[in-house]
Amino acid sequence: MSQIDLSERQRQVLATVVAHYVVSGSPVGSRTISKARPDHLSPASIRNTMADLEEMGYLAQPHTSAGRVPTDLGYRFYVDSLMSQRPPGKDDLETMRHVLLASENDQGIDEILSRSVKLLAGLSSQVGVVLAPRFSHAVLKRLEFLRISEDRVLALFISQTGMVDHRIVPMKESLSEAELTAVNNLVNENFAGLTLPEIRSRVLQMMRQEKALYDRLLARAMEMSSHYLDQREEGADELLVDGTFNVVGEPDFADVEQMKRLFKAFEDKNRLVELLNACLQQNKPQVIIGKECLDPGFEDLTIISSPYRYRERPVGALAVIGPRRMDYERLITLVDSFSRFLTESLARRTRMTGSEQAEHQKNGTEDTCDP
């Protein structure tokens, strides 16, 4: 990293350029900076410093006689070492508390998430994205098979946090009501408190055991569970997007062709899911600036993302997506505190339905998890 060898003045100038550019949107010149400084350094001196910064790749000129704009590298340096880390704005915090707590008493985590994404878009004036808790991290509270026709059952998955998922599973040979109840009991006895990957390995393990060969119902239980697991894939329906209209009319996206690509990117949710998944392991907000994101269509965007947790594990993420020219200082703290809020909210949900917590410990989930 060549970042250490920036002089104090260079750092200050770069910071001022970024600060001005993100609000004005037009290249900032030496005069502007000179005036913004407490010591009245002349424009000429600033020009020298700016020329240095340009040489080092932190600034760029749109054309010869224009001011400077930050490059991706310039922004990067700004967020990494220049930006002051203010606490989040009181207003933002207050609104978040208000909206999220209001929906917490309602049921349905879906509701909280959909409000969250709207709020995130609203507060940031950018595109808001929320990746719903991944089912692969969800802890099973109950798995139930319900008959819906002669040869098909509905598999119903309920997680500790209250997420619900259902799939239709074919049934090779019909089971009586009593048998189906027995199957349900078997399933819940064996799987309660486990995550999906854990259930998968448990299923494989049990299918190998001799016992299953003789206990017909157990065999069926494992078979149906296995079917359900196969049906479940991480799909695009787990991603919420809102606020795309915020990005329409941004001067930064003047080019129509580019804008078209942009919207295609927002509708292709699979790619967004991948992007957000990538940030799950971080424990600070992650900032991806322009070309740092290799995905085509995102070259001119910045993504600020942060995971939220459940039981110390990251289970989902939220992000703000906008033009590279954005208010990093505010938005990073916004995303950060938003993810904390969601984490706390999930924790509170567990406490509400906490009766099964002991059971979870008993099954020893903590050690056998894969990310």
Nearer to a second copy, 26 or 149 (CB): 149
Amino acid identity for residue 352 in this structure: M
Question: How far apart are the C-alpha atoms of 141 and 194, rounded to whole Å?
Answer: 8
Q: Say whether residue 37 binds DNA (CB under 7 A).
A: no
Binding partner selected for residue 68 from DNA, a second copy, none, CB under the kind-specific 5 to 8 Å limit: DNA
Q: Which of 162, 185, 158, 125 is nearest to 331 (CA)?
A: 125
Selected binder of DNA within 40, 90, 91, 256 (CB under 7 A): 40
Question: How far apart are the C-alpha atoms of 297 and 292, rounded to whole Å?
Answer: 12
CB of 248 to a second copy, least distance (A): 5
Q: Say whether residue 32 binds DNA (CB under 7 A).
A: yes
Which residues, including other chains, have CB under 8 Å from residue 25's CB and lie 6 or more apart? 251, 252, 325
For DNA (CB under 7 A), the number of binding residues is 26
Task: Give residues 163-192 in contact with a second copy (rule: CB under 8 A).
Answer: 164, 166-168
Q: Say whether residue 73 binds DNA (CB under 7 A).
A: no
CB of 192 to a second copy, least distance (A): 12
Nearer to DNA, 32 or 188 (CB): 32
Selected binder of DNA within 18, 19, 22, 50 (CB under 7 A): 50
CB of 12 to DNA, least distance (A): 12
Selected binder of DNA within 2, 23, 57, 61 (CB under 7 A): 61
Selected binder of DNA within 6, 67, 112, 229 (CB under 7 A): 67
Amino acid identity for residue 81 in this structure: S
Q: Is 295 exposed, middle or buried (0-12, 13-18, 19+ CB in 10 A)?
A: middle
- Rg value, the chain, Cα: 26
DSSP string, 92-122: HHHHHHHHHHHHHHSS-HHHHHHHHHHHHHH
Amino acid identity for residue 187 in this structure: V
Q: Say whether residue 22 binds DNA (CB under 7 A).
A: no
Q: Which stretch binds a second copy (CB under 8 A): 36-44, 142-150, 284-292, 306-314?
A: 142-150
Amino acid identity for residue 301 in this structure: L
Q: Say whether residue 45 binds DNA (CB under 7 A).
A: yes
| Sign, Cα dihedral of 74, 76, 80, 86 | positive
- Nearest 5°: phi and psi at 122? -65, -50
Q: Say whether residue 102 binds a second copy (CB under 8 A).
A: no
Binding partner selected for residue 249 from a second copy, DNA, none, CB under the kind-specific 5 to 8 Å limit: a second copy
Q: Say whether residue 174 binds DNA (CB under 7 A).
A: no
DSSP string, 19-86: HHHHHH-S-B-HHHHHHHSSS---HHHHHHHHHHHHHHTSEE-SSTTS-BEE-HHHHHHIIIII---P
CB of 80 to a second copy, least distance (A): 33
CB of 290 to DNA, least distance (A): 21
C-alpha dihedral over 295, 335, 27, 53, to 10 degrees?
-80
Selected binder of a second copy within 101, 148, 204, 213 (CB under 8 A): 148
Report the interface residues with DNA, using CB under 7 A.
9, 27-32, 40-45, 47-48, 50-51, 54, 61-68
Which residues of the shown chain bind a second copy in the complex (CB under 8 A)?
A: 107-108, 110, 114, 141-142, 144, 146, 148-150, 152, 154, 156, 158, 162, 164, 166-168, 231, 237, 242-245, 248-249, 256-257, 259-260, 262-264, 266-267, 352-353, 355-356
